[in-house]
């Protein structure tokens, strides 16, 4: 039986890192990506290989750039084989008034959070169609469902992720490929370190389970979705502790 091969973007820290560990534990062969932390990514790949005895290929670059993504998928196929699971996790946030935001900042958020899905899916799908099998998992946010004040670009990008997920799921279902998304609430990652102690306390008070989520919990759900029946597709699964 051939091993599953997963490509995980934004894997050097936070949710992406936890997903990489969880899938390595499950025996997946991995290609992991980040844009800037090349040394950290390379060290992490070596750690995963040594700890879980699976091949792990580090690929540093911007998944919002089609040329880079094309080269990345070519490298993965040559060294590991065709990708059977794509986890689109790369993402950035921007907090501030819309009127204070530059077009460059807007474009950066959209490119990182949404254009990256287009690029990665475009190059993952052909091999999945040939195999009549594949799993695509997009990491989204509750703000893509309800919107957040002072996070217009981020909310818009994640709303796009959700619609992208539903539309692509319909397109690929006849080929045995499922496409789902996890809409995360407040997960305790570096991205959410921008909150002050008082703001964090107030957020916790609003969440019924009484705490932030963990990257490991998100990774556990990701693995469950990867192993779910193909009839589960086109779903935006909210993981927010009952918050919204």
Active centre residues (catalytic): 154
In whole angstroms, give the CA distance from residue 127 to residue 38.
27
In whole angstroms, give the CA distance from residue 156 to residue 152.
6
Give all strands of the β-sheet with 29-34 in edge-to-edge order: 56-60, 29-34, 5-8, 85-88, 134-141, 177-184, 236-239
Provide the strand spans (E) within 9-114: 29-34, 56-60, 85-88
Question: How many other β-carbons are positioned within 10 Å of the β-carbon of residue 95?
Answer: 13
Residue corresponding to tokens 């699971």: 85
**What's the DSSP call for residue 241?**
T
Contacts of 231 (CB under 8 A, 6+ apart): none
Tokens at residue 175, please?
A: 């080929």
């Amino acid at each position: 039986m051939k091993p599953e091969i997963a490509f995980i973007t934004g894997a050097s820290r936070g949710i992406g890192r936890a997903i990489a560990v969880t899938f390595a534990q499950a025996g997946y062969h991995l290609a992991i990506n980040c844009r800037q932390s090349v040394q950290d990514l390379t060290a992490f790949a070596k750690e995963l290989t040594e700890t879980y005895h699976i091949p792990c290929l580090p690929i540093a670059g911007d998944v919002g750039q089609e040329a880079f993504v094309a080269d990345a998928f070519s490298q993965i196929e040559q060294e590991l084989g065709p990708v059977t699971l794509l986890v689109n996790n790369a993402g950035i946030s921007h907090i501030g008034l819309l009127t204070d935001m530059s077009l460059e900042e807007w474009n950066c958020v959209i490119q990182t959070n949404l254009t990256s899905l287009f690029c990665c899916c475009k190059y993952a799908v052909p091999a999945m169609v040939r195999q009549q099998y594949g799993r695509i998992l997009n990491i989204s946010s509750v703000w893509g469902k309800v919107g957040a004040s002072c996070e217009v670009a981020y909310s818009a990008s994640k709303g796009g992720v959700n619609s992208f997920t539903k539309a692509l799921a319909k397109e690929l279902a006849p080929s045995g490929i499922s496409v789902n998304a996890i809409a995360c609430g407040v997960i305790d990652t570096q991205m959410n370190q921008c909150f002050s102690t008082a703001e964090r306390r107030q957020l916790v008070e609003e969440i019924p389970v009484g705490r932030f989520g963990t990257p490991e919990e998100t990774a556990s759900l990701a693995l469950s979705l990867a192993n779910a029946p193909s009839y589960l597709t086109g779903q935006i699964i909210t993981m927010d502790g009952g918050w919204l």
